């Protein structure tokens, strides 16, 4: 089925924010917005769900501290409990202060790296990925809002978007 989208281009983030609110009021569906820099509050205006990356980081941290504890308990206490400089290797807790730096670092390591990888996976980023850029100017100083216009009156929509401050409007039909 053929679908059409409208690309509305803005040159100011304040104007963009107001436009998003107007478009939301009209119950039009915003497919995506492309901006050259983070616009504070844009996600709230668009009604995007909050990120859960912080929660994953916490869980990865828990994994990290578990890995550290299990690893050192096996190596230092169970497998070969040597007397190294008189440190008590009879149980994990007795020698724990010596393990804390590693427990801490592995917690941070796991939390940080796995969260970053999760971010890459969720936002589909990798080295040879083809850039999905509808207009090269959006990486410099233009803001682009993509609105679903399938089955809608393009002319009327375009006129409405002009009133919200769009400087350029393109109607794009995808034959698929």
Partner 1 sequence: MYTLSKNLKLSAIIFMVVGALLFAVDAMYMPSSIADIEAMHAGDDHGESHDTAVSGEGHEAHEAIATAKGHGDDHAVASHQAEEGHAMSEAEHNQHLLDGYKNKPWSAVYVAAFFFFMISLGCLAFYAVQYASQAGWSPLLLRVMEGITGYLLPGSIIMLILLALSGFHFNHIFHWMADGITDPTSENYDKLIAGKSDWLNVPWLLIRAVIFIAGWNAYRFFAVKFSKEQDEATDNRSHKKSFKLAALFLVFFLYTESMMSWDWIMSIDPHWFSTLFGWYVLAGMMVCGITTIALITMILKGAGYLQSVNDSHIHDLAKFMFGFSIFWTYLWFSQFMLIWYSNIPEEVTYYIQRIEDYNLPFFGMLIMNFLFPLLILMNSDFKRVNWFVVMAGIVILLGHYVDIYNMVMPGTVGQAWSFGFVELGSLMFFFGLFVLIVFTSLTKRPLEPKRNPLIEESKHFHY
Task: Pick the binder of partner 1 from 54, 116, 121, 173 (CB under 8 A).
Answer: 54
Question: Least distance in Å: CB of 51 to partner 1?
Answer: 11
Q: Which range touches partner 1 (CB under 8 A), out of 25-33, 66-74, 93-101, 132-140?
A: 93-101
Q: Which range touches partner 1 (CB under 8 A), out of 1-9, 13-21, 92-100, 155-163?
A: 92-100
Task: Pick the binder of partner 1 from 53, 84, 100, 121 (CB under 8 A).
Answer: 100
Q: Nearest 5°: phi and psi at 145?
A: -110, 125
Using CB under 8 A as the binding rule, whether residue 86 contacts partner 1 is answered as yes
Using CB under 8 A as the binding rule, whether residue 15 contacts partner 1 is answered as no
How far is residue 63's CA from residue 66's CA, in Å, rounded to a whole number?
Answer: 5
Q: Which range touches partner 1 (CB under 8 A), out of 29-37, 95-103, 108-116, 155-163?
A: 95-103
Q: Backbone dihedral region of 55: left (phi > 0), alpha (psi from -120 to 50 degrees) or beta? A: alpha
Q: For residue 144, what are the β-bridge partners?
A: 9, 34
Q: Which of 135, 136, 141, 130 is nearest to 36 (CA)?
A: 141
Using CB under 8 A as the binding rule, whether residue 58 contacts partner 1 is answered as yes
Size of the chain, expressed as the number of residues it contains:
176
Helix (H, G, I), strand (E, B) or coil at 3: strand
How far is residue 90's CA from residue 137's CA, in Å, rounded to a whole number?
Answer: 65
For the record, the structure tokens of 21 come out as 């609110």
Nearer to partner 1, 86 or 127 (CB): 86
Using CB under 8 A as the binding rule, whether residue 97 contacts partner 1 is answered as yes
How far is residue 130's CA from residue 60's CA, in Å, rounded to a whole number?
Answer: 30
Question: Least distance in Å: CB of 48 to partner 1?
Answer: 17
Nearer to partner 1, 16 or 103 (CB): 103
Binding site for partner 1 (CB under 8 A): 54, 58, 86, 97-98, 100
């Amino acid at each position: 089925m053929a679908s059409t989208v409208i690309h509305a281009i803005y040159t100011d983030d304040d104007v963009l924010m107001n436009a998003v609110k107007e478009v939301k009021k009209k119950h039009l569906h915003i497919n995506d917005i492309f901006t050259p820099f983070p616009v504070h509050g844009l996600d709230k205006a668009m009604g995007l769900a909050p990120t859960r990356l912080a929660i994953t980081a916490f869980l990865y941290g828990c994994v990290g501290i578990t890995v550290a504890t299990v690893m050192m308990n096996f190596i230092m206490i169970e497998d070969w409990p040597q007397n190294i400089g008189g440190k008590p290797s009879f149980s994990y807790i007795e020698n724990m202060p010596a393990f804390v730096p590693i427990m801490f670092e592995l917690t941070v390591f796991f939390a940080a790296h796995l969260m970053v990888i999760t971010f890459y996976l969720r936002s589909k980023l990798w080295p040879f990925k083809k850039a999905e850029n509808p207009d090269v100017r959006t990486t410099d100083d233009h803001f682009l809002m993509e609105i679903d216009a399938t089955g809608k009156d393009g002319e009327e929509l375009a006129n409405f978007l002009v009133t919200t401050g769009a400087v350029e409007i393109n109607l794009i039909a995808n034959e698929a």
